[in-house]
Each structure stands twice: as C-alpha cells, then as structure tokens.
Structure 1
Amino acid sequence: MLTTLAIANYRSIRDLVIPLNQLNIITGPNGSGKSSLYRALRLLADTAQGRLVASLAGEGGLQSTLWAGPETISSAVKQGKYPVQPARRTEPVNLKLGFCTGQLGYAIDLGLPSPSNSMFGFDPAIKQECIWSGACLRPAALLVERKNWVVSTRTDDGSWRQMTETLSSFDSMLAELADPKAAPEMLALREQIRSWRFYDNLRTDIEAPARRVQIATHTPVLTGDGASLAATWQTIREIGDEAALNNAVSDAFPGARVGVQQVGNGLEILMWQHGLLRALTAPELSEGTLRYLLCIAALLSPRPPALMVLNEPETSLHPDLLPALARLIIKASQDSQIVVVSHSTRLVAALEREGGGFTMTLEKEHGETLVHGLHTLERPAWRWPKR
C-alpha cells in the first residue's frame, strides 16, 4: 500500500506531500487541482511502462506542465500584504514525483536537457531516480540511484556497483533495467506499479465499445475504455466472486439481473429488469445503467491490483445509485488500495456514511493546490533527492 504521495512543480501543484490510506477520497471544487493530482499518479505509473516522456509530450511538453507560479510563496504574499512577484530561480527547472510504501520509496526528477544542437532540445530529461528502504529518503537507506545516465546499486557490503552508464535521458531505469540479483527492489517496484489500474474513460455513449458484441476470451481485467465488459463479466462469473456480482446488481437495481449470451464467437451483455418481458441488450441500456455495470466489472475483478484509481466514477449516474456505488467501492478496497477522485458531494458523503475512506479536500491558494486542513507539520516526512 502506498503510504505517501509526493508531487512538486506539476501544473497547479507546487509542493504537495500527502498521506494515503487503504481507501482515499480526493474531492474539491472545480479547478482545485483534482485532475492534476490524478494525472500525476498516471505519470508515476507511466515510468514503469516506459511512457513517461511521451505522456508529458501529450500534455504539451515539460514547459506546459510545470508549475507556473513563483518558486516559493512568502508568508507576506499569503497574507495579502504583497502581490506575487517574479524572482530569480535558486534551483534548476524540475518536475518531481515520488511515493513511499513504508518499506520502499521511489522518486524521479525531470528537468531540461543539456544544451545541444539536437532538435529535441525541449524534450524533458530524467536527471535523477532513486529507490530507498524505509519511510523517508536517507543517504544510508539508498538502494538504487540514477544520476543522469549512470545507474548504481548498493551491494551487500555497502559499496556501490554500476549497473549501466549509458541509460538514455528519456528512459526510466524502472522500465529499462531488470536485475533480480543486483536490484530486486527495482524489479519489485516495477511490477507493483505495472499492476496499477486507472479508470477515467469508461465510455457509455451510443458508440461505446461496451455496447458491441465482443470476442469470447477470458478477460479478468476490464479494459480502460470498458470494451471488454461482456468478457470480463463472464470471467468474473466463472473464476471470480459471482455472488458479489449478483449482489452488486440487485443492490442498485432491485429485481434485476445481468447475464451474458453467446453470439457466434462473441459475447453480449443482457439485463433483465422487473416488469419487462425480455432482456435488454447493451445498445438498449441507458448511459447510467451501463456506467454502473462497468464500475461493477472494474471493481470486482478476480485479479485485484495493488492500486486502483477511479476518476469521477459518478459520471452519468443517478444520485440514487451513489450509495450502492459507495458500498461497491468499499468492498473493493478490501483487496486493493483505492483512490477515488470526485467532485460529487453525494458520493463523498455516501462513502463517509458507509464508514470507509480517508477524505482530502483540495483547495487553491494563490494558484497553488493545497489540502484543506493539512498543515506543514502534519505532512508525512519526505525528502527529495538532490541533483
């Protein structure tokens, strides 16, 4: 389980270090930084997939994603005595991301490349990465360290051994290196991160992939766009918790049941509702009903991930369905760490009422995203690696 998440100089987040529990609810008004926090988690996941620099390019490049405010905000500015003024930088340009599990920690520092004649002069460069043991980075706790293109690991006798000195500036060591003997911690972290799942694009429109017949193949994990709904549903029925599947449907739609029928070599979702003489197919379902079925398939996966992040899962749902969704999320949090990003006060209230979750309300102050009520002295201990 992640115990700490740290983000610096990313979009509206200048310096944020937050604690995490088994079930975490991130909420706040529009523009408070919920999307920035969600995207930062996705960027961390992309490090282990080798997609970090490409993902930043998709957001407009490093310059577009950097914190646009001053390097530091004085107490006088916070009190409104003086306006925000530009100042000379004391540190190099950087975007930093990191997390800690309590046993292992990881941090990555991105910056501008060294001046050259290359046409990729604005491509972000990975300046430093490190893995350490324990809750907070200390020199004695370092296990793996990457500085520019050189990656070194600590040996059993405490000395350092180079793994490589030719790592490209745009490649993360997590994605490119694997040595279970010299750096088992790096391999363990990579596999943990690769198990993370993100759901923020579950389509329910009339052309949604989930409304089409899908090829019949075992699918224990719902795809990010929901295309594998029927196959995932049947997989849960055969190798997962079918009782929980049925209970989740009846909890939201009393008297209804959902099944899967074979169409040629494909599968199709069917839903029987009280009072109807025939089952409804996926193209006939409302957007809210389809959305809820997608949430069930994602949350009841027979292969629960280490971390699942749901971005605004309440979209298209009627308020009456939110208590059932909250109960479904709480059940899933027994097997996976869950982060829910939502601006729905009703869903947040339902999760809190059901007795689950650690709620963090984001707010903006001088353009900076902060956690309401989380004072500096209450933040988890955290140190960034120095270049």
Structure 2
Amino acid sequence: MLTTLAVENYRSLRDLVLPLSGLTVVTGPNGSGKSSLYRALRLLADASRNGAVAALAREGGLPSTLWAGPENGVRPGSSQVQGTVRRKAIGLRLGFAGDEFGYALDLGLPVPGKKTMFNLDPEFKREAVWSGPVLRPSALLADRAGPSVRTRVSSGAWGEDRFKIRLTDSMLSEFADPRACPELLVVRERIRSWRFYDHFRTDAAAPARQSRIGTRTPVLSHDGADLAAALQTIIEVGRAAELAAVIDAAFPGSTLEVATQDSLLSVRFHQHGLLRPLSAAELSDGTLRFLLWVAALLTPRPPELLVLNEPETSLHPDLLPALAALIATAAKETQLVVVSHASLLIRALSEISEVGTLELEKEGGETKLVGQGRLDRPSWHWPTR
C-alpha cells in the first residue's frame, strides 16, 4: 500500500506531501487542485510505460505545467507577489512511497544549445527506487542520474556496470532487468497495475450503449465500451449474487442481465413497473453511469491502486449511498483514492468505512492540505540533482 504521495512544481501543487490510506478521499472546492493531483498520479503511472513525456506534451509541454508562481510560494498575508532570483533548478518532481518500496522522478528542461526541434521535451534528470518508506542512501536500489543508471548487486554493494539510457526515457520502462535489479521490475509492474477511471461517456453515441462482441473481461476499459462483457464476467466468476444485491440497493426491485444475439453482448435492465427490459441505449445517463461504476468496482482482478475522479458526476443524490457501499466493498481488495466534492458521498463513505480525508485549498494560488503544518507532513526526501 502507498503511504505517501509527493508532488513538486506541477501546476498549483508547488510543494505537496500527502499521507495515503487504504481508502483516501481527496476533496475541496472547485479550483483547489483536486484534478491536478489526479493528473499527477496519472503521470507517475505513465512513467512506467515511458509515456510521461507524451502526457506532458498533451498538456502543452513541461513549461505549461510547471508551478507559475514564485519559487518559494506566496508569503501568508502578503498582498504582493514578487519574484526573486531562482536558487533551485527548474523541474517537476513526482514520487510515492510505501512500506516496501519508494520511487521518485525529476523532470527538467533540456540543456540549451542542443540542435533539435524537440527542445520542449522534458528530460529525466534523476530517478530513484528505494526500499522502505523513506529515501536514504543505504536504501537505494536503483539510481539514475542523467543518462546513467546504477543498481545494487546481491551483496548490497553498487554494481560495477553503469547502464546508459536516453534522457527522455524512464528507467522503469527501459531498464527493468530481472537479473540486474529485480526490485525495479517489481516496482514497474506494480505501477502498471494502477487503474484510473475518469468521466465515463453516457451520451447517445457513448461506447457503453452499443452491443459488441464480448470476450472475458475482468477489467473494464477506460471508456466502458465492454460494459456488457465486464458484467457477464462478474456473473460467471461467481459474484452474481453480489452484483444483484448492488443493483437492488441502487434501484429497488430492479434486476440486470446480459443477453447475446449473433455473438453480440448487450445489457438488459429490468426495472420495477416496466413490462420489458431496457437496453443500454435506452437507459438514463445516471443509470448507465452507475452500471459502469459497478463493472469497474466489482472487478475480478483488483489492481494495486484504483483512482476514481469525481464518480458522483451525473448521479442522483439517492444513488450516492449505494455508490459509497460499492466503493467501500472494493476498498477491501485494493487501495482506493477517490477525488470528489460530493459531501453526501463522502459522508456516506465515512459512515461505513475507515476513510482518510484530504481536504485541499488554494492559498496564494498554491494548493495546500487543510490543517497540515510542516511538522505534520509525512517524512519525504527528494533525490538531489
């Protein structure tokens, strides 16, 4: 389980170190930095697939995503924002730690003067994987400085070989040799198992409303196109009674089935009071979105970490207690981070499960954790350049 998440210089997250629990709810008013925190987690996951540079490019490049205020933030109570001479290297830093392993990356701009048309591509200045919850020199397992990677050998000493890597590649994706550093491979595969769900489409042309050829689907796709197959998989792995109970709790007297015709799978929703079942194309946006969350959260293959971004969107308040129960059930098998500003959902979760609530706020344009002082922050150290 991840116990600490650290972000530095990503949008409004100038310097944030957060404690994580088995079920963490991130809340706060609009514009407080919740979405930035969600995207920071996705960037960490992208690094394990060598996609962090491309992900930043989609956001306008590294310069567009860096903290735009003074290097040390705005002094509390100050009415003026004044820049000073920069003392630190410009960079975006992301990291996490748990009881077993920790990982951190430092992305910066390339050295000026290189002849390239890709001079906005960020470079990996540092990367580190260590054992335990806190980075210490003796705990380092793999250490990357610029284009050079070194790893520990079985004796615990640093190996004699220095492995070369391109500055725009992550050592997680390009250097995960089970012989040279098996721990690096373990960390990479754990990060790759992280799963993210954002706003599902429920418009008339949404993929989830279409009948499709189905295969066994233990993991719902990000767009919900394989909804019928995912629900049928849940039924066939022996969780039909659990699925039926969730549907009845949300829509009393209703049942759900998956039908097949010409090898195409489709959802059939039997609603109390109606003489025929409704297809996915006929369901309301809220009902369809709830079924998508059911398929995502009752997954037969739970990930190391499951991150949900505003799951309450388009749901009627009456459905939020049922959604809270569904989230609490999923949290028994996987670590969950839920980004939400629905007080009813948060309250319902707190009543049925142990929840770590992180409330964010903006102060001088900077995202901060409400009530967190310097001495309250989890222990965290960045690898130096």
What is the TM-score when the length of structure 2 is the normalising length? Answer: 0.98
Q: Which residue of 2 aligns with 1:106?
A: 103
Aligned pairs (5 A) from 1:152-231: 152-161=150-159, 165-231=163-229
Counterpart of 1:275 (choices 257, 273, 281) is 273
> d(CA) in 2 for partners of 1:374 and 1:163?
43
- Alpha-carbon deviation of 1:157? 2.8
> d(CA) in 2 for partners of 1:235 and 1:349?
31
Q: Which residue of 2 aligns with 1:83?
A: 80
- Alpha-carbon deviation of 1:166? 2.7
- Alpha-carbon deviation of 1:162? 5.7
Counterpart of 1:360 (choices 358, 361, 369) is 358
- Alpha-carbon deviation of 1:244? 1.3
> d(CA) in 1 for partners of 2:218 and 2:161?
36
Identity %: 56
Say whether the 8 Å CA contact 2:248–2:255 is kept in structure 1. yes
Q: Deviation string for 1:362-382 (max 9, x for gaps)? A: 000000000111211111100
One-letter identity of the residue aligned with 1:345: S
Aligned pairs (5 A) from 1:361-380: 361-380=359-378
Find the residue that maps to 2:2 and give its secondary structure. coil
> d(CA) in 1 for partners of 2:319 and 2:294?
12
> d(CA) in 1 for partners of 2:194 and 2:353?
25
Counterpart of 1:93 (choices 72, 90, 94) is 90
> d(CA) in 1 for partners of 2:244 and 2:209?
20
Q: Deviation string for 1:67-106 (max 9, x for gaps)? A: 00111136xx2133x5221111101111000000121100
Where does structure 1 differ by over 6 angstroms across 4 or more consecutive aligned residues? none
Say whether the 8 Å CA contact 2:199–2:313 is kept in structure 1. no
Q: Deviation string for 1:322-344 (max 9, x for gaps)? A: 00100100000000100100111
1:117 equivalent in alignment to 2:115: yes
How many equivalent residue pairs? 384
Say whether the 8 Å CA contact 1:201–1:224 is kept in structure 2. no
Q: Which residue of 2 aligns with 1:61?
A: 61
> d(CA) in 1 for partners of 2:170 and 2:2?
20
> d(CA) in 1 for partners of 2:373 and 2:147?
37
Find the residue that maps to 1:207 and give its secondary structure. coil
Unaligned 5+ runs, structure 2: none
- Alpha-carbon deviation of 1:28? 0.4
Q: Deviation string for 1:293-313 (max 9, x for gaps)? A: 000000000001110000010
> d(CA) in 1 for partners of 2:99 and 2:69?
31
Find the residue that maps to 1:241 and give its secondary structure. helix
Q: Which residue of 2 aligns with 1:301?
A: 299
> d(CA) in 1 for partners of 2:242 and 2:370?
36
Q: Which residue of 2 aligns with 1:150?
A: 148
Structure 1 window deviating more from structure 2 (107-116 vs 234-243): it is: 234-243
Say whether the 8 Å CA contact 1:240–1:302 is kept in structure 2. no
Say whether the 8 Å CA contact 2:199–2:310 is kept in structure 1. no
Pairwise CA RMSD:
1.2
> d(CA) in 2 for partners of 1:19 and 1:349?
20
> d(CA) in 2 for partners of 1:71 and 1:331?
42
Q: Deviation string for 1:280-304 (max 9, x for gaps)? A: 0000000000000000000000001
Q: Which residue of 2 aligns with 1:26?
A: 26
Say whether the 8 Å CA contact 2:14–2:73 is kept in structure 1. no
Q: Which residue of 2 aligns with 1:46?
A: 46
Find the residue that maps to 2:18 and give its secondary structure. strand
Find the residue that maps to 1:218 and give its secondary structure. coil
Find the residue that maps to 2:144 and give its secondary structure. strand
Q: Deviation string for 1:23-50 (max 9, x for gaps)? A: 0000000000000000000000001111
Say whether the 8 Å CA contact 2:32–2:361 is kept in structure 1. yes
Counterpart of 1:289 (choices 284, 287, 290) is 287
> d(CA) in 2 for partners of 1:180 and 1:357?
37
